[in-house]
């Protein structure tokens, strides 16, 4: 079973947390910090598995993670999951994000919290793998987008949180169809090219 | 967000502003349109993600659930599955909305509802839906996507509340989902069946043949057959893995046709591993190998096909040298399991050089740890010397995080496969030399036990420790072992003038002043044994015992030993001495407590399995285990102490007991007359050491087991009473205790040496508590140190009601124990009796003192005698967060001094503890080492007991 799915950036800022077991809100934050601490001090190109931190069950659980550009994707799983299987699942997740957001980058995760959750929900449910077929997932998400469009009242604002909607930040770097690649790290695509490779 | 919030404060300010804005929008008169609701709920989610509490918006989210618009419904469900606690009051409203959506026959709404149930997974939801979901799952007209979700939803409910999921007619139909057209449905169903069949294997037995045929169809399909479920040219890797996992729930199929088909599958999988890859992408090889590793797990699980086992082993052997770190890691892990099989143990052993090399050269500590595990698993009589030697040499450079575990492993292997015990003694002494700090008590207890039980090794042991002690700097554990062994067997090497009795004594005594109190206590016992072994050393030793530093030692234990041993040596006749101080009798054989410790450390599963595997294997090989073997029968007794000591961590009192109480029964052959003589001769005028001895022996037990003098039948403090106490060291308010009946809350305030504590007793049931009585007691010495007045309470507590008790506390002098609170009441027919430790600790009477850097260091220097300082080095139990640490130190009571310590990472504090009789000035310093995840805590106060107590209390907090 997958106990938790965490995404945080190179500085430990959480970008997504999804717990499939009950932890208090404080514990959740501590787990994120602990996990960041464990994962971030590891070199690149060591192995992608390590024993879980104390808070999330210690050696009975494994952390399986991948590092893409500015983000760490960490799955905390128990012994009933296949390590390599989960590693591939992370890849499917990121590739799906990449398809849905076109060159996904950290900013997308900040401004589309709900979308990321919805995509994840198509893949993992209650801690178990629901669907692994990327086309199927993308089809579902497209269908959702269509319904969203059809439901948007005419004349009202389209839901487009990148335009300074979320938290009314000072306007984020302009980014619509084409994302500037070098503006800030936040805009760095997670997957270097459309070929979906990652270093290893 | 992080860009806006340059600092933590700015971020909090920004977020509070935003929260206020959202709150006003929700509360405002104008009804929000769906889009705005959605927008604000999204913002709340993001704020929650950053770690801020969200205490509103739940109702708005619940309202979104009943919207007809998909987008609104979706965001409502999202909010609820992230933010709503399972015992929320809103659960009824939520359940209602879910019920409507499940009945809507709109597949998208049904999926949302099922997701919500699976993600929250509370008992209330199980009660409401557990009987509904199987119907949805097996109904003929259910859409594939809904079936998928329903299967996993049911799985989740079964995991949280298995009693609420009724088995029934649906189970056989679920098994047939393995034949479904849609691979997504099959994957979900396989997960569900795997979980269900663990508890009801017979009910789901038929899944084996269905799983085999499904697997065989996937494995033999071409890489394009399964279209979208082909991942980087590997057909349906996740489903294959799940099916192989499912098969691991059952023994090999009995039906020969099914079995033949399955073996064919495994062979195909093993063959494919040898084929050239269809793609150079790492995803391709990952997916392929995920299946391969799972197949190997199944082969190991069956443990009946020698041919496949050896092939699996060879395959893993290839991976051991693979350039992918992940594969090396997994290969080492799987090989650990293979090493336990009689068929493949020898094959695994052929890879020893590779594994040793991995231990030495891998860059990643996770991989090195697996290599160490594998070496441990593949060790047997033939390769033990090599493996132990390699592990020992690895210890010199090993990562701190795994040193203790490696020490335990070396100790166990050295004992288990010791052909001659001189090798064993050498190994353990090397272990102490190389990694002394990581050698736990169990390890050195064990070496002593073995030396005492085997007389062929005693002389060698004495000679070896004597040589080891000659090193200019040797670890304290070495001194302990040395002291003990020379005290028992020093006579065996005394013939050599280079190790004459006096030389031995001087060597031991040269270490004395560098050692901690428990070690010194042990050395004193060795000295008195020397008096018996070598009468010529008597005067020298008496001089030592008589010196002020012993007779007037501020440590009670040391002082008492010095006094008693001095008297014993001067008064008792040689016969009596010889009897009292006779050599230790052999210990009864029992399970090595090192093994128990390793099991505890690694979790019960892993080690036991490995050990059991080993046991089978040795039976098969007809290997004869050495006589003093760690029994492999698992009776885990973590606290089993080898020396038969009462497990008192300080070790002081119990070591004393051990010299006498264990030695005396050993002289069971004493004639009645001499026994008489023995007791009379100890009956000394003036001070009575005999009775002191008795006190010391009993004292250790009585203090801990009879907590409350006065109350007739006190319940023992609840086992975690000390944890409860620790919880309140740095805070004054909170929940002290809770069970099904009763909740006890606590609020307290302290000024100078006075305190007041409010205890709130809440009756959680709907029934009265009768004869409700509270009794606060101060065990032992504490009576003179604390003055506690508790006001009486009403004897009846109504159901659901709360009573309050006020306790006034006056601190008379410093103290270490905690007062006990005994609660008795009658609930229904039974008397409840609970004893807790009241969280009144000496630090509560702290008054912070601000001081400048110079003052601090001046005072620090003034408090430099060893008795005034208490120091502890310990592992961090919580993430090392500076702010949290600061808060804890302030909660502890001392002032937190800024800019005092030259190292900015360190924390220093100062304060005065107020008691009626004295005031104790305290300085503290906490040095975090985030790399090692350790802390060093130093306390200096004008009073030894206070330093120790504060150090013990505070060191539990990080």
Q: For B530-585, how does the pLDDT look when each residue is reduced to its tens digit (9 = 90+)?
A: 888 888 888 888 888 888 888 888 888 888 888 888 888 888 777 777 777 777 77
pTM to 2 decimals?
Answer: 0.63
Cα(B186)–Cα(B575) distance, integer angstroms: 83
pLDDT at B150: 94
CB within 8 Å: B145 and A161: no
Give the confidence band of B602 by pLDDT, cuts at 50, 70, 90: low
With 0-12 / 13-18 / 19 or more C-beta atoms within 10 angstroms meaning exposed / middle / buried, residue B449 is buried
* pLDDT mean across residues, chain B: 79
With 0-12 / 13-18 / 19 or more C-beta atoms within 10 angstroms meaning exposed / middle / buried, residue B571 is middle
Cα(B788)–Cα(B437) distance, integer angstroms: 42
Min CA distance, A101 vs chain B (Å)? 18
Cα(A65)–Cα(B388) distance, integer angstroms: 33
SS3 B948: helix
What digits encode the pLDDT tens for the residues A43-91?
887 889 988 887 777 778 899 999 988 899 999 999 889 999 999 999 9
Give the confidence band of B688 by pLDDT, cuts at 50, 70, 90: very low
- Nearest by CB to residue B148, choosing from A43, A88, A130, is A130
Cα(B584)–Cα(B665) distance, integer angstroms: 10
Chain B contact set for A130 (CB, 8 A): 148-149, 152, 184, 188
Min CA distance, B46 vs chain A (Å)? 7
Annotation: CATH topology of B724-840: Immunoglobulin-like (2.60.40)
What digits encode the pLDDT tens for the residues B236-260?
999 999 999 999 999 999 999 999 9
Which of A200, A52, A65, A159 shows the shortest CA–CA distance to B322?
A200
Looking at per-residue pLDDT, the higher value among B354 and B54 belongs to: B354
Residues contacting residue B782 through CB under 8 Å, at least 6 positions apart: B815, B817, B819
Chain A contact set for B279 (CB, 8 A): none
pLDDT at A65: 94
Residue B170 has pLDDT above 50, yes or no: yes
- Looking at mean pLDDT, say which of A3-12, A102-111, B392-401 comes out highest: A3-12
Average pLDDT over residues B911-936: 86
Whether domain B843-956 has CATH 1.20.1050.40: no
Cα(B518)–Cα(B783) distance, integer angstroms: 28
Average pLDDT over residues B853-864: 82
Helix ranges (DSSP H) in A41-79: none
Give the confidence band of A120 by pLDDT, cuts at 50, 70, 90: very high
Min CA distance, B50 vs chain A (Å)? 6
Cα(B835)–Cα(B815) distance, integer angstroms: 20
Q: How many CB pairs under 8 A join A and B?
A: 205
* pLDDT mean across residues, chain A: 78
Residue B646 has pLDDT above 50, yes or no: no
Average pLDDT over residues B400-418: 84
Annotation: CATH topology of B383-581: 1.25.10
pLDDT at B679: 35
What digits encode the pLDDT tens for the residues B65-88?
888 888 888 888 988 888 776 556
- Nearest by CB to residue A157, choosing from B14, B35, B153, is B35
pLDDT at B542: 85
Looking at per-residue pLDDT, the higher value among B909 and A182 belongs to: B909
Helix ranges (DSSP H) in B534-555: 538-546, 548-551
Share of chain B above pLDDT 90, in %: 16
CA angle B811, B814, B815 (to 5 degrees): 95
Residue B25 has pLDDT above 90, yes or no: no
Confirm whether residue B39 is marked as ligand binding.
yes
B457 close to A (CB below 8 A): no
DSSP B382: T
Chain A contact set for B243 (CB, 8 A): none
What digits encode the pLDDT tens for the residues B754-798?
888 888 888 888 788 888 888 888 888 888 888 888 888 888 888
Confirm whether residue B474 is marked as ligand binding.
no
Cα(B118)–Cα(B130) distance, integer angstroms: 11
What digits encode the pLDDT tens for the residues B867-888?
888 888 888 888 888 888 888 8
Residue B703 has pLDDT above 80, yes or no: no
- Residue ranges per structural domain of chain B: 84-166, 383-581, 724-840, 843-956
CB within 8 Å: A110 and B46: yes
Confirm whether residue B35 is marked as ligand binding.
yes
> In chain B, which residue's Cα lies nearest the Cα of A57?
B603
Residue B201 has pLDDT above 50, yes or no: yes
Confirm whether residue B908 is marked as ligand binding.
no
pLDDT at B590: 61
CB within 8 Å: A148 and B71: yes
């Amino acid at each position: 079973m997958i106990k938790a799915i965490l995404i945080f950036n190179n500085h430990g800022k959480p970008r997504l947390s999804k717990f499939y077991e009950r932890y208090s809100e404080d514990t959740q934050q501590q787990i994120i910090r602990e996990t960041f601490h464990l994962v971030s001090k590891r070199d690149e190109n060591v192995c992608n598995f390590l024993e879980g931190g104390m808070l999330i069950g210690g050696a009975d659980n494994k952390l399986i993670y991948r590092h893409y550009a500015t983000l760490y994707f960490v799955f905390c799983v128990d012994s009933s999951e296949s390590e390599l299987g989960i590693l591939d699942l992370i890849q499917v997740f990121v590739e799906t994000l990449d398809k849905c957001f076109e060159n996904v980058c950290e900013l997308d995760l900040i401004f589309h919290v709900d979308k990321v959750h919805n995509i994840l929900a198509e893949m993992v449910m209650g801690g178990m793998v629901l669907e692994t077929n990327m086309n199927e997932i993308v089809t579902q998400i497209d269908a959702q987008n269509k319904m969203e469009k059809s439901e948007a009242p005419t004349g009202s604002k389209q839901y487009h949180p990148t335009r300074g909607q979320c938290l009314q930040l000072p306007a984020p770097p302009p980014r619509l169809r084409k994302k500037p690649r070098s503006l800030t790290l936040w805009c760095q695509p997670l997957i270097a090219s459309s070929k979906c490779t990652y270093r290893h | 967000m992080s860009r806006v919030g340059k600092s933590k404060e700015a971020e909090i300010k920004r977020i509070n502003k935003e929260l206020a804005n959202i709150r006003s929008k929700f509360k405002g008169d104008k009804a929000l349109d769906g889009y705005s609701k959605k927008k604000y709920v999204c913002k709340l989610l993001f704020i929650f993600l950053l770690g801020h509490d969200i205490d509103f918006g739940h109702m708005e989210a619940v309202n979104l659930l009943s919207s007809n618009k998909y987008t609104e419904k979706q965001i409502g469900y999202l909010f609820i599955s992230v933010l709503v606690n399972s015992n929320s009051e809103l659960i009824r409203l939520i359940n209602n909305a879910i019920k409507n959506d499940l009945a809507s026959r709109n597949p998208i709404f049904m999926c949302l509802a099922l997701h919500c149930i699976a993600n929250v997974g509370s008992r209330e939801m199980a009660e409401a839906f557990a009987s509904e979901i199987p119907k949805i799952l097996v109904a003929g007209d259910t859409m594939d996507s809904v079936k998928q979700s329903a299967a996993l939803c049911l799985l989740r409910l079964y995991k949280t509340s298995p009693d609420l999921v009724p088995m029934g007619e649906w189970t056989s139909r679920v098994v047939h989902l393995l034949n479904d057209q849609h691979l997504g449905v099959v994957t979900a169903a396989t997960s569900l069946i795997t979980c269900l069949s663990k508890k009801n294997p017979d009910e789901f037995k038929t899944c084996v043949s269905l799983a085999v045929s499904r697997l065989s169809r996937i494995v033999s399909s071409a890489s394009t057959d399964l279209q979208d479920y082909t991942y980087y040219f590997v057909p349906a890797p996740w489903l294959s893995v799940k099916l192989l996992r499912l098969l691991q729930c059952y023994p090999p199929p009995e039906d020969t046709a099914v079995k033949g088909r399955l073996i064919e599958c495994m062979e195909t999988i093993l063959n494919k591993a040898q084929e050239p890859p269809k793609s150079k992408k790492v995803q391709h090889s990952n997916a392929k190998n995920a299946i391969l590793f799972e197949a190997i797990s199944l082969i190991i699980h069956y443990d009946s096909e020698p041919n496949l086992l050896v092939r699996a082993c060879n395959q893993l052997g290839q991976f051991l040298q693979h350039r992918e770190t992940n594969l090396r890691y997994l290969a080492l892990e799987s090989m650990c399991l293979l090493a336990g099989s009689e068929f493949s143990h020898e094959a695994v052993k052929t890879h020893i050089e590779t594994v040793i090399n991995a231990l030495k050269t891998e860059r990643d500590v996770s991989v090195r740890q697996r290599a160490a595990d594998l070496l441990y698993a593949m060790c047997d009589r033939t390769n033990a010397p090599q493996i132990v030697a390699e592990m020992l040499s690895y210890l010199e450079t090993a990562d701190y995080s795994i040193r203790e575990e490696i020490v335990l492993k070396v100790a166990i292997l050295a004992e288990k496969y010791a052909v001659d015990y001189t090798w064993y003694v050498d190994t353990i002494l090397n272990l102490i030399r190389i990694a002394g700090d990581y050698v736990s008590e169990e390890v050195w207890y064990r070496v002593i036990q073995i030396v005492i039980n085997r007389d062929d090794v005693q002389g060698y042991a004495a000679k070896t420790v004597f040589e080891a002690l000659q090193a200019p700097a040797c670890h304290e554990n070495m001194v302990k072992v040395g002291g003990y062994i020379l005290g028992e067997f020093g006579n065996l090497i005394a013939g050599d003038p280079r190790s004459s009795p006096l030389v031995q004594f001087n060597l031991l005594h040269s270490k004395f002043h560098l050692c901690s109190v428990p070690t010194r206590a042990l050395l004193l016992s060795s000295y008195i044994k020397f008096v018996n072994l070598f009468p010529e050393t008597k005067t020298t030793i008496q001089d030592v015992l008589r010196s002020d530093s012993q007779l007037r030692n501020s440590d009670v234990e040391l002082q008492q030993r010095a006094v008693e041993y001095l008297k014993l040596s001067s008064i008792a006749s040689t016969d009596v001495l010889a009897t009292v101080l006779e050599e230790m009798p052999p210990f009864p054989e029992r399970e090595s407590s090192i093994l128990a410790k390793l099991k505890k450390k690694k979790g019960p599963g892993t080690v036991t399995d490995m050990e059991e595997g080993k046991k089978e294997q040795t039976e098969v090989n007809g290997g004869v285990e050495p006589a003093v073997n760690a029994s492999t029968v698992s009776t885990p007794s973590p606290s089993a102490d080898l020396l038969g000591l009462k497990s008192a961590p300080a070790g002081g009192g119990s070591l004393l007991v051990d010299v006498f109480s264990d030695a005396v029964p050993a002289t069971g052959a004493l004639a009645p007359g001499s026994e008489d003589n023995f007791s009379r001769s100890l009956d000394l005028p003036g001070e009575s050491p005999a009775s002191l001895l008795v006190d010391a022996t009993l004292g250790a037990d009585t203090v801990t087991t009879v907590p409350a003098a006065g109350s007739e039948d006190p319940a023992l403090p609840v086992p975690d009473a000390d944890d409860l106490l620790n919880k309140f060291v740095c805070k004054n308010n909170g929940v002290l205790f809770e069970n099904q009946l009763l909740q006890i809350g606590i609020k307290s305030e302290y000024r100078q040496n006075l305190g007041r504590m409010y205890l709130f007793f809440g009756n959680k049931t709907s029934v009265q508590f009768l004869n409700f009585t509270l009794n606060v007691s101060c065990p032992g010495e504490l009576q003179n140190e604390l003055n506690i007045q508790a006001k009486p309470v009403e004897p009846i507590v109504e159901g659901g009601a709360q009573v309050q008790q006020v306790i006034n506390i006056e601190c008379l002098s410093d103290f270490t124990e905690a007062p006990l609170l005994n609660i008795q009441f009658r609930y229904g027919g039974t008397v409840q009796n609970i004893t807790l430790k009241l969280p009144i600790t000496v630090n509560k009477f702290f008054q912070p003192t601000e001081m400048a850097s110079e003052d601090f260091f001046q005072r620090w220097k003034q408090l430099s005698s060893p008795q005034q300082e208490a120091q502890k080095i310990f592992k961090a139990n919580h993430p090392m967060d500076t702010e949290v640490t600061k808060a804890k130190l302030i909660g502890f009571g001392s002032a937190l001094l800024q800019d005092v310590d030259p190292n900015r990472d360190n924390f220093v504090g100062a304060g005065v503890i107020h008691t009626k009789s004295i005031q104790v000035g305290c300085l503290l310093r906490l040095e975090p080492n985030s790399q090692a995840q350790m802390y060093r805590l130093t306390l200096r106060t004008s009073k030894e007991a206070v330093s120790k107590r504060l150090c013990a209390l505070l060191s539990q907090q990080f």
